[in-house]
Protein backbone atom coordinates (compact mmCIF):
# COMPACT_ATOMS: atom_id res chain seq x y z
CA UNK A 1 0.00 0.00 0.00
CA UNK A 2 1.30 3.48 -0.82
CA UNK A 3 2.49 5.44 2.20
CA UNK A 4 0.01 8.00 3.45
CA UNK A 5 1.09 11.24 5.03
CA UNK A 6 -1.12 13.07 7.43
CA UNK A 7 -2.82 15.99 5.79
CA UNK A 8 -0.59 15.80 2.74
CA UNK A 9 -1.94 14.93 -0.68
CA UNK A 10 -0.63 11.51 -1.66
CA UNK A 11 0.80 12.87 -4.91
CA UNK A 12 3.47 14.75 -2.93
CA UNK A 13 5.00 11.47 -1.78
CA UNK A 14 7.00 10.71 1.34
CA UNK A 15 10.04 12.94 0.92
CA UNK A 16 12.54 12.31 3.71
CA UNK A 17 12.94 14.92 6.41
CA UNK A 18 16.67 15.64 5.79
CA UNK A 19 16.18 16.62 2.14
CA UNK A 20 13.22 18.89 2.91
CA UNK A 21 15.00 20.36 5.95
CA UNK A 22 18.08 21.17 3.86
CA UNK A 23 15.89 23.12 1.43
CA UNK A 24 14.18 24.99 4.28
CA UNK A 25 17.54 25.88 5.82
CA UNK A 26 18.52 27.66 2.61
CA UNK A 27 15.58 30.09 3.02
CA UNK A 28 16.97 32.87 5.20
CA UNK A 29 13.65 34.79 5.28
CA UNK A 30 11.90 31.69 6.62
CA UNK A 31 14.56 31.27 9.32
CA UNK A 32 14.22 34.92 10.36
CA UNK A 33 10.40 34.62 10.57
CA UNK A 34 10.64 31.42 12.61
CA UNK A 35 13.32 32.68 14.99
CA UNK A 36 11.36 35.85 15.75
CA UNK A 37 8.06 34.06 16.29
CA UNK A 38 9.32 31.11 18.34
CA UNK A 39 11.54 33.31 20.52
CA UNK A 40 8.65 35.63 21.33
CA UNK A 41 6.18 32.85 22.14
CA UNK A 42 8.55 30.80 24.27
CA UNK A 43 9.68 33.82 26.27
CA UNK A 44 6.09 34.78 27.04
CA UNK A 45 5.20 31.20 27.90
CA UNK A 46 8.07 30.96 30.37
CA UNK A 47 6.90 34.17 32.07
CA UNK A 48 3.28 33.10 32.57
CA UNK A 49 4.21 29.57 33.63
CA UNK A 50 6.60 30.98 36.24
CA UNK A 51 3.66 32.82 37.83
CA UNK A 52 2.13 29.55 39.04
CA UNK A 53 3.79 27.96 42.02
CA UNK A 54 1.92 24.71 41.47
CA UNK A 55 2.76 24.36 37.76
CA UNK A 56 4.53 21.03 38.26
CA UNK A 57 1.57 19.67 40.24
CA UNK A 58 -0.80 20.84 37.48
CA UNK A 59 1.42 19.10 34.94
CA UNK A 60 1.34 15.89 36.96
CA UNK A 61 -2.44 16.15 37.28
CA UNK A 62 -2.84 16.66 33.50
CA UNK A 63 -0.68 13.62 32.84
CA UNK A 64 -2.60 11.49 35.35
CA UNK A 65 -6.02 12.47 33.95
CA UNK A 66 -4.99 11.70 30.38
CA UNK A 67 -3.42 8.38 31.42
CA UNK A 68 -6.58 7.43 33.27
CA UNK A 69 -8.70 8.28 30.20
CA UNK A 70 -6.42 6.30 27.88
CA UNK A 71 -6.34 3.28 30.20
CA UNK A 72 -10.13 2.90 29.95
CA UNK A 73 -10.72 4.66 26.66
CA UNK A 74 -13.36 2.26 25.35
CA UNK A 75 -15.55 2.75 28.40
CA UNK A 76 -15.19 6.54 28.40
CA UNK A 77 -15.99 6.76 24.68
CA UNK A 78 -19.18 4.76 25.16
CA UNK A 79 -20.06 6.95 28.14
CA UNK A 80 -19.52 10.05 25.96
CA UNK A 81 -21.70 8.60 23.20
CA UNK A 82 -24.55 7.87 25.65
CA UNK A 83 -24.43 11.33 27.21
CA UNK A 84 -24.11 13.20 23.89
CA UNK A 85 -26.92 11.19 22.31
CA UNK A 86 -29.18 11.78 25.31
CA UNK A 87 -28.56 15.53 24.83
CA UNK A 88 -29.66 15.36 21.19
CA UNK A 89 -26.35 14.93 19.31
CA UNK A 90 -25.81 12.27 16.64
CA UNK A 91 -22.59 10.32 17.18
CA UNK A 92 -20.73 8.67 14.28
CA UNK A 93 -17.70 6.38 14.54
CA UNK A 94 -14.94 6.65 11.92
CA UNK A 95 -12.14 4.10 11.60
CA UNK A 96 -10.12 6.25 9.23
CA UNK A 97 -9.97 9.51 7.30
CA UNK A 98 -12.18 8.25 4.48
CA UNK A 99 -15.01 7.32 6.86
CA UNK A 100 -14.77 10.62 8.74
CA UNK A 101 -14.74 12.67 5.53
CA UNK A 102 -17.70 10.72 4.18
CA UNK A 103 -19.67 11.38 7.38
CA UNK A 104 -19.07 15.14 7.20
CA UNK A 105 -19.83 15.29 3.46
CA UNK A 106 -23.07 13.33 3.97
CA UNK A 107 -24.29 15.87 6.54
CA UNK A 108 -23.42 18.81 4.28
CA UNK A 109 -25.12 17.15 1.29
CA UNK A 110 -28.22 16.36 3.31
CA UNK A 111 -28.64 20.10 3.91
CA UNK A 112 -27.78 21.12 0.36
CA UNK A 113 -24.74 23.06 1.58
CA UNK A 114 -22.22 24.05 -1.10
CA UNK A 115 -20.08 25.85 1.48
CA UNK A 116 -19.21 25.11 5.13
CA UNK A 117 -17.41 27.35 7.63
CA UNK A 118 -14.60 25.82 9.66
CA UNK A 119 -13.08 26.40 13.05
CA UNK A 120 -9.32 25.87 13.09
CA UNK A 121 -8.85 22.16 13.66
CA UNK A 122 -5.80 19.90 13.43
CA UNK A 123 -7.81 16.75 13.05
CA UNK A 124 -9.67 17.97 9.96
CA UNK A 125 -6.27 18.85 8.46
CA UNK A 126 -5.09 15.34 9.37
CA UNK A 127 -7.91 13.69 7.43
CA UNK A 128 -7.65 16.09 4.48
CA UNK A 129 -11.26 17.17 4.94
CA UNK A 130 -11.09 20.29 2.74
CA UNK A 131 -9.87 18.32 -0.28
CA UNK A 132 -12.44 15.59 0.32
CA UNK A 133 -15.28 18.11 0.52
CA UNK A 134 -13.99 19.92 -2.56
CA UNK A 135 -14.15 16.63 -4.47
CA UNK A 136 -17.82 16.56 -3.48
CA UNK A 137 -18.35 20.11 -4.74
CA UNK A 138 -18.44 21.60 -1.24
CA UNK A 139 -16.14 24.51 -0.38
CA UNK A 140 -14.67 24.57 3.14
CA UNK A 141 -13.86 28.11 4.28
CA UNK A 142 -11.21 28.46 7.00
CA UNK A 143 -12.20 31.22 9.42
CA UNK A 144 -9.17 31.34 11.72
CA UNK A 145 -7.01 34.22 10.48
CA UNK A 146 -3.81 32.21 10.14
CA UNK A 147 -5.62 29.26 8.55
CA UNK A 148 -7.30 31.66 6.14
CA UNK A 149 -3.88 33.03 5.16
CA UNK A 150 -2.60 29.51 4.54
CA UNK A 151 -5.74 28.62 2.54
CA UNK A 152 -5.61 31.76 0.39
CA UNK A 153 -1.93 31.11 -0.33
CA UNK A 154 -2.64 27.50 -1.37
CA UNK A 155 -0.04 26.63 1.26
CA UNK A 156 0.13 24.18 4.15
CA UNK A 157 0.18 25.03 7.89
CA UNK A 158 3.66 24.95 9.41
CA UNK A 159 2.84 25.29 13.11
CA UNK A 160 0.08 23.79 15.26
CA UNK A 161 -0.98 27.05 16.82
CA UNK A 162 0.30 29.60 14.32
CA UNK A 163 -0.21 27.89 10.96
CA UNK A 164 1.20 30.87 9.04
CA UNK A 165 4.25 31.32 11.27
CA UNK A 166 6.43 31.10 8.18
CA UNK A 167 4.87 34.26 6.70
CA UNK A 168 5.54 37.80 7.83
CA UNK A 169 3.15 40.77 7.77
CA UNK A 170 4.20 42.19 4.42
CA UNK A 171 3.78 38.76 2.80
CA UNK A 172 0.24 38.57 4.27
CA UNK A 173 -0.60 42.06 2.99
CA UNK A 174 0.47 41.10 -0.54
CA UNK A 175 -1.62 37.94 -0.32
CA UNK A 176 -4.76 39.78 0.80
CA UNK A 177 -4.41 42.33 -1.98
CA UNK A 178 -4.13 39.54 -4.54
CA UNK A 179 -6.72 37.07 -3.22
CA UNK A 180 -9.49 38.93 -1.39
CA UNK A 181 -11.86 40.79 -3.66
CA UNK A 182 -12.63 44.40 -2.75
CA UNK A 183 -9.70 44.92 -0.37
CA UNK A 184 -8.66 48.56 -0.05
CA UNK A 185 -5.49 48.97 -2.17
CA UNK A 186 -4.15 51.27 0.58
CA UNK A 187 -4.13 48.31 3.03
CA UNK A 188 -1.05 48.49 5.27
CA UNK A 189 0.71 45.60 6.98
CA UNK A 190 -0.34 46.71 10.47
CA UNK A 191 -1.83 43.65 12.26
CA UNK A 192 -5.14 45.35 13.13
CA UNK A 193 -5.65 46.46 9.51
CA UNK A 194 -4.94 42.96 8.21
CA UNK A 195 -7.33 41.47 10.79
CA UNK A 196 -10.03 43.99 9.80
CA UNK A 197 -9.69 43.06 6.12
CA UNK A 198 -10.05 39.38 6.98
CA UNK A 199 -13.00 40.08 9.29
CA UNK A 200 -14.90 41.93 6.60
CA UNK A 201 -14.22 39.12 4.14
CA UNK A 202 -15.40 36.43 6.58
CA UNK A 203 -18.46 38.17 8.01
CA UNK A 204 -20.47 37.62 4.82
CA UNK A 205 -19.55 33.93 4.82
CA UNK A 206 -20.51 33.41 8.46
CA UNK A 207 -23.94 34.86 7.96
CA UNK A 208 -24.67 32.72 4.88
CA UNK A 209 -23.30 29.36 6.08
CA UNK A 210 -25.76 26.60 6.92
CA UNK A 211 -23.17 24.11 8.17
CA UNK A 212 -20.26 24.64 10.55
CA UNK A 213 -17.37 22.18 10.97
CA UNK A 214 -15.07 21.98 13.96
CA UNK A 215 -12.71 19.76 15.89
CA UNK A 216 -12.61 19.79 19.69
CA UNK A 217 -9.90 20.30 22.28
CA UNK A 218 -11.69 18.11 24.80
CA UNK A 219 -14.66 15.74 24.91
CA UNK A 220 -16.12 15.22 28.38
CA UNK A 221 -17.31 11.63 28.87
CA UNK A 222 -19.43 12.39 31.91
CA UNK A 223 -21.63 15.00 30.21
CA UNK A 224 -21.18 14.38 26.47
CA UNK A 225 -19.87 17.95 26.07
CA UNK A 226 -17.35 19.21 23.52
CA UNK A 227 -14.94 22.07 24.22
CA UNK A 228 -13.16 24.39 21.79
CA UNK A 229 -10.55 26.93 22.88
CA UNK A 230 -9.66 29.75 20.49
CA UNK A 231 -8.45 33.32 20.54
CA UNK A 232 -10.24 35.21 17.78
CA UNK A 233 -13.97 34.59 18.28
CA UNK A 234 -14.32 33.17 14.78
CA UNK A 235 -14.73 29.74 16.34
CA UNK A 236 -17.63 30.93 18.47
CA UNK A 237 -19.33 32.24 15.29
CA UNK A 238 -18.88 28.87 13.52
CA UNK A 239 -20.12 26.97 16.55
CA UNK A 240 -23.24 29.06 17.15
CA UNK A 241 -24.47 30.68 13.90
CA UNK A 242 -25.00 27.75 11.47
CA UNK A 243 -28.10 25.56 11.75
CA UNK A 244 -25.98 22.41 11.63
CA UNK A 245 -22.68 21.64 13.36
CA UNK A 246 -20.37 18.68 12.66
CA UNK A 247 -17.38 18.12 14.95
CA UNK A 248 -14.60 15.67 14.12
CA UNK A 249 -12.99 14.51 17.35
CA UNK A 250 -9.95 12.26 17.77
CA UNK A 251 -10.77 9.55 20.29
CA UNK A 252 -7.86 10.63 22.49
CA UNK A 253 -9.59 13.95 23.26
CA UNK A 254 -11.70 12.30 25.95
CA UNK A 255 -11.42 13.47 29.56
CA UNK A 256 -13.48 11.56 32.11
CA UNK A 257 -15.22 14.31 34.08
CA UNK A 258 -16.28 17.93 33.93
CA UNK A 259 -13.98 18.69 36.88
CA UNK A 260 -10.98 17.46 34.85
CA UNK A 261 -11.39 20.43 32.53
CA UNK A 262 -10.26 22.72 35.33
CA UNK A 263 -6.72 21.37 35.03
CA UNK A 264 -6.52 21.65 31.25
CA UNK A 265 -8.07 25.11 31.12
CA UNK A 266 -5.06 26.23 33.16
CA UNK A 267 -2.42 24.17 31.36
CA UNK A 268 -3.41 24.83 27.75
CA UNK A 269 -3.63 28.65 27.44
CA UNK A 270 -0.34 29.23 29.29
CA UNK A 271 1.45 26.59 27.21
CA UNK A 272 0.06 27.61 23.84
CA UNK A 273 -0.67 31.32 23.54
CA UNK A 274 1.06 32.25 26.81
CA UNK A 275 -2.21 33.61 28.16
CA UNK A 276 -3.43 33.21 31.73
CA UNK A 277 -6.93 32.53 30.52
CA UNK A 278 -8.26 31.61 27.13
CA UNK A 279 -10.15 34.44 25.34
CA UNK A 280 -12.93 32.24 23.88
CA UNK A 281 -13.81 28.90 25.46
CA UNK A 282 -16.95 27.39 23.91
CA UNK A 283 -18.65 24.36 25.46
CA UNK A 284 -21.73 22.68 23.99
CA UNK A 285 -23.68 19.57 24.86
CA UNK A 286 -26.00 18.26 22.18
CA UNK A 287 -28.86 20.48 21.01
CA UNK A 288 -30.64 23.29 22.87
CA UNK A 289 -33.95 24.31 21.26
CA UNK A 290 -33.82 27.87 19.96
CA UNK A 291 -30.15 28.32 20.90
CA UNK A 292 -27.30 27.54 18.51
CA UNK A 293 -27.21 24.73 15.93
CA UNK A 294 -30.36 22.63 15.93
CA UNK A 295 -28.60 19.59 14.49
CA UNK A 296 -25.32 18.49 16.08
CA UNK A 297 -23.10 15.66 14.83
CA UNK A 298 -19.96 14.26 16.46
CA UNK A 299 -17.58 12.09 14.42
CA UNK A 300 -15.31 10.07 16.73
CA UNK A 301 -12.14 9.31 14.78
CA UNK A 302 -9.58 6.54 15.23
CA UNK A 303 -7.27 6.88 12.17
CA UNK A 304 -4.36 4.99 13.75
CA UNK A 305 -4.89 6.05 17.35
CA UNK A 306 -5.76 2.58 18.63
CA UNK A 307 -2.48 1.36 17.13
CA UNK A 308 -0.63 4.08 19.06
CA UNK A 309 -2.52 3.08 22.19
CA UNK A 310 -1.25 -0.48 21.86
CA UNK A 311 2.39 0.65 22.17
CA UNK A 312 3.37 0.84 25.85
CA UNK A 313 6.07 3.46 25.31
CA UNK A 314 4.58 5.37 22.39
CA UNK A 315 1.04 5.73 23.74
CA UNK A 316 2.02 8.71 25.88
CA UNK A 317 1.90 10.75 22.64
CA UNK A 318 -1.90 10.47 22.89
CA UNK A 319 -1.77 12.67 25.99
CA UNK A 320 -0.91 15.61 23.71
CA UNK A 321 -3.23 18.61 24.02
CA UNK A 322 -1.72 20.31 20.91
CA UNK A 323 -0.40 23.33 22.77
CA UNK A 324 2.69 23.59 20.51
CA UNK A 325 5.04 24.51 23.36
CA UNK A 326 7.41 21.74 22.24
CA UNK A 327 7.68 23.28 18.76
CA UNK A 328 8.65 26.66 20.11
CA UNK A 329 11.61 25.33 22.11
CA UNK A 330 12.87 22.82 19.57
CA UNK A 331 16.20 23.81 17.96
CA UNK A 332 15.38 21.71 14.91
CA UNK A 333 11.90 23.19 14.39
CA UNK A 334 13.19 26.72 14.92
CA UNK A 335 15.57 26.33 12.00
CA UNK A 336 13.47 24.45 9.46
CA UNK A 337 9.83 25.17 10.35
CA UNK A 338 6.95 22.75 9.95
CA UNK A 339 6.88 21.83 6.27
CA UNK A 340 9.81 19.35 6.25
CA UNK A 341 7.87 17.12 8.68
CA UNK A 342 5.32 16.46 5.90
CA UNK A 343 2.51 16.16 8.38
CA UNK A 344 -0.01 18.42 10.03
CA UNK A 345 1.82 17.56 13.24
CA UNK A 346 5.26 19.17 13.00
CA UNK A 347 8.06 19.61 15.53
CA UNK A 348 8.77 17.20 18.38
CA UNK A 349 5.18 15.99 18.75
CA UNK A 350 5.04 15.35 15.00
CA UNK A 351 8.30 13.42 15.17
CA UNK A 352 6.72 10.94 17.58
CA UNK A 353 3.06 11.03 16.57
CA UNK A 354 3.22 10.86 12.77
CA UNK A 355 5.42 7.72 12.59
CA UNK A 356 3.07 6.00 15.01
CA UNK A 357 -0.07 7.02 13.14
CA UNK A 358 1.18 6.11 9.66
CA UNK A 359 3.70 3.39 10.64
CA UNK A 360 7.44 3.95 11.25
CA UNK A 361 8.28 2.37 7.91
CA UNK A 362 6.40 5.25 6.24
CA UNK A 363 8.03 8.05 8.26
CA UNK A 364 11.37 6.56 9.18
CA UNK A 365 13.34 9.84 9.10
CA UNK A 366 11.12 11.70 11.58
CA UNK A 367 12.35 10.07 14.82
CA UNK A 368 15.80 11.38 13.86
CA UNK A 369 14.59 14.98 13.45
CA UNK A 370 15.76 15.82 16.95
CA UNK A 371 18.91 16.62 18.86
CA UNK A 372 17.43 14.76 21.90
CA UNK A 373 18.15 17.87 23.99
CA UNK A 374 15.00 17.24 26.05
CA UNK A 375 13.67 20.83 25.93
CA UNK A 376 10.36 19.53 24.56
CA UNK A 377 9.85 17.26 27.59
CA UNK A 378 10.65 20.11 29.98
CA UNK A 379 7.88 22.35 28.60
CA UNK A 380 5.23 19.73 27.80
CA UNK A 381 2.20 20.46 30.01
CA UNK A 382 1.24 16.78 30.12
CA UNK A 383 4.83 15.56 30.63
CA UNK A 384 5.19 13.52 27.47
CA UNK A 385 8.73 12.15 27.52
CA UNK A 386 9.32 12.91 23.85
CA UNK A 387 13.03 11.93 23.87
CA UNK A 388 12.12 8.53 25.32
CA UNK A 389 9.61 7.92 22.52
CA UNK A 390 12.06 9.18 19.87
CA UNK A 391 14.69 6.67 20.99
CA UNK A 392 12.05 3.93 21.14
CA UNK A 393 10.95 4.74 17.58
CA UNK A 394 14.54 4.87 16.32
CA UNK A 395 14.95 1.30 17.55
CA UNK A 396 11.78 0.36 15.65
CA UNK A 397 13.10 2.03 12.50
CA UNK A 398 16.33 0.05 12.71
CA UNK A 399 14.43 -3.18 13.30
CA UNK A 400 12.04 -2.45 10.42
CA UNK A 401 14.86 -2.26 7.86
CA UNK A 402 15.05 -5.49 5.89
CA UNK A 403 18.72 -5.03 5.03
CA UNK A 404 21.69 -4.16 7.15
CA UNK A 405 22.78 -0.53 6.59
CA UNK A 406 26.32 0.86 6.80
CA UNK A 407 25.32 2.53 10.08
CA UNK A 408 23.89 -0.61 11.67
CA UNK A 409 27.00 -2.56 10.60
CA UNK A 410 29.22 0.12 12.13
CA UNK A 411 27.17 0.10 15.35
CA UNK A 412 27.39 -3.68 15.61
CA UNK A 413 31.16 -3.50 15.13
CA UNK A 414 31.37 -0.82 17.83
CA UNK A 415 29.34 -2.98 20.22
CA UNK A 416 31.75 -5.87 19.57
CA UNK A 417 34.79 -3.63 20.24
CA UNK A 418 33.31 -1.98 23.37
CA UNK A 419 32.24 -5.36 24.75
CA UNK A 420 35.77 -6.54 25.53
CA UNK A 421 38.59 -4.70 27.35
CA UNK A 422 41.41 -6.06 25.18
CA UNK A 423 39.57 -5.40 21.94
CA UNK A 424 38.86 -1.85 23.12
CA UNK A 425 42.54 -1.20 24.00
CA UNK A 426 43.61 -2.58 20.62
CA UNK A 427 41.08 -0.32 18.87
CA UNK A 428 42.46 2.69 20.72
CA UNK A 429 45.98 1.86 19.55
CA UNK A 430 44.73 1.42 16.01
CA UNK A 431 42.80 4.72 16.13
CA UNK A 432 46.03 6.59 16.81
CA UNK A 433 47.32 5.26 13.50
CA UNK A 434 44.04 6.13 11.77
CA UNK A 435 45.20 9.37 10.12
CA UNK A 436 47.41 7.17 8.01
CA UNK A 437 44.58 4.85 7.09
CA UNK A 438 42.06 7.60 6.26
CA UNK A 439 39.52 6.63 8.94
CA UNK A 440 39.42 10.05 10.59
CA UNK A 441 38.10 13.20 8.89
CA UNK A 442 39.56 13.98 5.54
CA UNK A 443 38.20 14.32 2.04
CA UNK A 444 38.38 10.60 1.41
CA UNK A 445 37.27 9.47 4.84
CA UNK A 446 34.10 7.35 5.03
CA UNK A 447 33.06 9.60 7.95
CA UNK A 448 33.03 12.76 5.82
CA UNK A 449 29.22 13.11 5.83
CA UNK A 450 29.08 12.74 9.61
CA UNK A 451 31.92 15.16 10.27
CA UNK A 452 30.76 17.79 7.77
CA UNK A 453 28.42 19.14 10.47
CA UNK A 454 30.25 17.96 13.60
CA UNK A 455 33.73 18.24 15.08
CA UNK A 456 35.40 14.95 15.88
CA UNK A 457 37.76 15.64 18.78
CA UNK A 458 41.40 14.76 18.04
CA UNK A 459 42.47 11.41 19.40
CA UNK A 460 44.80 12.05 22.37
CA UNK A 461 48.33 10.71 22.29
CA UNK A 462 47.66 8.76 25.48
CA UNK A 463 44.37 7.13 26.55
CA UNK A 464 42.89 7.67 30.01
CA UNK A 465 43.48 4.00 30.74
CA UNK A 466 47.17 4.25 29.85
CA UNK A 467 47.47 7.44 31.92
CA UNK A 468 45.88 5.70 34.92
CA UNK A 469 48.22 2.74 34.65
CA UNK A 470 51.23 5.01 34.43
CA UNK A 471 50.14 7.24 37.33
CA UNK A 472 48.35 4.83 39.69
CA UNK A 473 49.12 1.34 38.49
CA UNK A 474 46.37 -1.23 37.64
CA UNK A 475 43.11 -0.59 35.79
CA UNK A 476 40.69 2.22 36.72
CA UNK A 477 37.63 1.18 38.75
CA UNK A 478 34.73 0.07 36.62
CA UNK A 479 37.07 -0.85 33.76
CA UNK A 480 36.71 2.59 32.13
CA UNK A 481 39.07 3.50 29.35
**Residue with smaller CB distance to ligand SF4, 299 or 376:** 376
Residue 4 CB coordination number (10 Å): 19
321 in contact with ligand SF4 (CB under 6 A): yes
Pairing, β 254-255 against β 211-214: unpaired
Q: Which residues contact 31 (CB under 8 A, 6 or more apart)?
A: 25, 335
**Alpha-carbon distance values, 417 to 12, 115, 399 (Å):** 43, 65, 22
Give yes or no for residue 65 binding ligand SF4 (CB under 6 A).
Answer: no
Q: Does 92 bind ligand SF4 (CB under 6 A)?
A: no
DSSP labels, 353-369 = HHHHHH-GGGSTTGGGS
Query: Is residue 162 near ligand SF4 by the rule CB under 6 A?
Result: no
Which residues, in sequence order, are CB contacts of 430 under 8 Å at separation 6+? none
Nearer to ligand SF4, 89 or 320 (CB): 320
Among 4, 324, 356, 364, binds ligand SF4 (CB under 6 A): 324
Could you count the other beta carbons within 10 Å of the beta carbon of residue 297? 21
Helix, strand, or coil (residue 79): helix
C-beta closer to ligand SF4: residue 166 or 322: 322
Pick 160 or 175: Cβ nearer ligand SF4: 160
Choices 20-28, 40-48, 211-219, 315-323; region in contact with ligand SF4 by CB under 6 A:
315-323
CB of 342 to ligand SF4, least distance (A): 18
By CB under 6 A, tell whether 325 contacts ligand SF4.
yes
Smallest separation (angstroms) from ligand SF4 to the CB of 375: 10
Contact between 58 and ligand SF4 by CB under 6 A: the answer reads no
Of 97 and 390, which has the nearer Cβ to ligand SF4? 390
Residue 227 binds ligand SF4 (CB under 6 A):
no
Cα(194)–Cα(480) distance, rounded to whole angstroms? 63
Name which of 165 and 323 has its Cβ closer to ligand SF4: 323
Number of residues that bind ligand SF4 (CB under 6 A): 14
* Closest to ligand SF4 by CB, 152 or 326: 326
* Residue 322 Cβ vs ligand SF4, minimum distance, rounded to whole Å: 5
Measured from the CB atom, the residue of 101 and 354 that comes closer to ligand SF4 is 354
| From 108-116, 132-140, 314-322, 409-417, span contacting ligand SF4 (CB under 6 A) | 314-322
Is the CB of 122 or the CB of 244 nearer to ligand SF4?
122
**Residue from 285, 274, 247 nearest 129 by CA:** 247
CB of 465 to ligand SF4, least distance (A): 42
Question: From CA 304, how far away is CA 454, in angstroms rounded?
Answer: 37
Strands 244-250 and 211-214: parallel
Residue 343: closest CA among 177, 187, 127, 196: 127
d(CA 390, CA 386): 6
CB of 52 to ligand SF4, least distance (A): 16
Q: What x/- string results for residues 289 through 308 when contact with ligand SF4 is judged by CB under 6 A? A: --------------------
Which of the stretches 77-85, 320-328, 332-340, 363-371 binds ligand SF4 when contact is defined by CB under 6 A?
320-328
Site string for ligand SF4, 246-275 (x = CB under 6 A): -------------------------x----
Neighbouring-strand partners of residue 141: 117
CA–CA distance from 130 to each of 117, 236, 246 (Å)? Answer: 11, 20, 14
Q: How far is the CB of 434 from ligand SF4 (least distance, A)?
A: 42
Q: Does 326 bind ligand SF4 (CB under 6 A)?
A: yes
- Closest C-alpha among 335, 403, 343 to residue 370: 335
| Backbone phi and psi for residue 270, each to the nearest 5 degrees, phi listed first | -65, -35
Nearer to ligand SF4, 37 or 202 (CB): 37
**188 Cβ partners below 8 Å, 6+ apart?**
173
By the rule CB under 6 A, 322 interacts with ligand SF4: yes
Q: Looking at 165-173, 218-226, 232-240, 323-331, which segment touches ligand SF4 (CB under 6 A)?
A: 323-331
Write the Ramachandran bin of 322: left for phi over 0, alpha for psi from -120 to 50, otherwise beta.
Answer: left
Residue 16 burial by Cβ neighbours in a 10 Å radius (0-12, 13-18, 19+): middle
Return the residues of window 360-399 that contact ligand SF4 according to CB under 6 A: 379-382, 384
| H or E stretch covering 280 | strand 280-284
Report the interface residues with ligand SF4, using CB under 6 A: 271, 320-326, 349, 379-382, 384
Amino acid sequence: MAPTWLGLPARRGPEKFPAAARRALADSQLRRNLRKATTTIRTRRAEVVAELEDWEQLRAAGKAIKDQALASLDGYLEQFERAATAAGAQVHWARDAAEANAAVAAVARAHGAREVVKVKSMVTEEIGLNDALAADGIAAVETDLAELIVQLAGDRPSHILVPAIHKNRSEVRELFLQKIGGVDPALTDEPHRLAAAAREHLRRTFLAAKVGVSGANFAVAETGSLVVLESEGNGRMCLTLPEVLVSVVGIEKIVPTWADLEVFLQLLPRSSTAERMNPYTTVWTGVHPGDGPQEVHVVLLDNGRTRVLADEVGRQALRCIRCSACLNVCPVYERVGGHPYHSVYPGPIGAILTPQLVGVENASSLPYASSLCGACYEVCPVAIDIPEVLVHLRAEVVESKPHRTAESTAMQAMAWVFGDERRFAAAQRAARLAPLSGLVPGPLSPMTRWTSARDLPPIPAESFRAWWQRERGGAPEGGGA
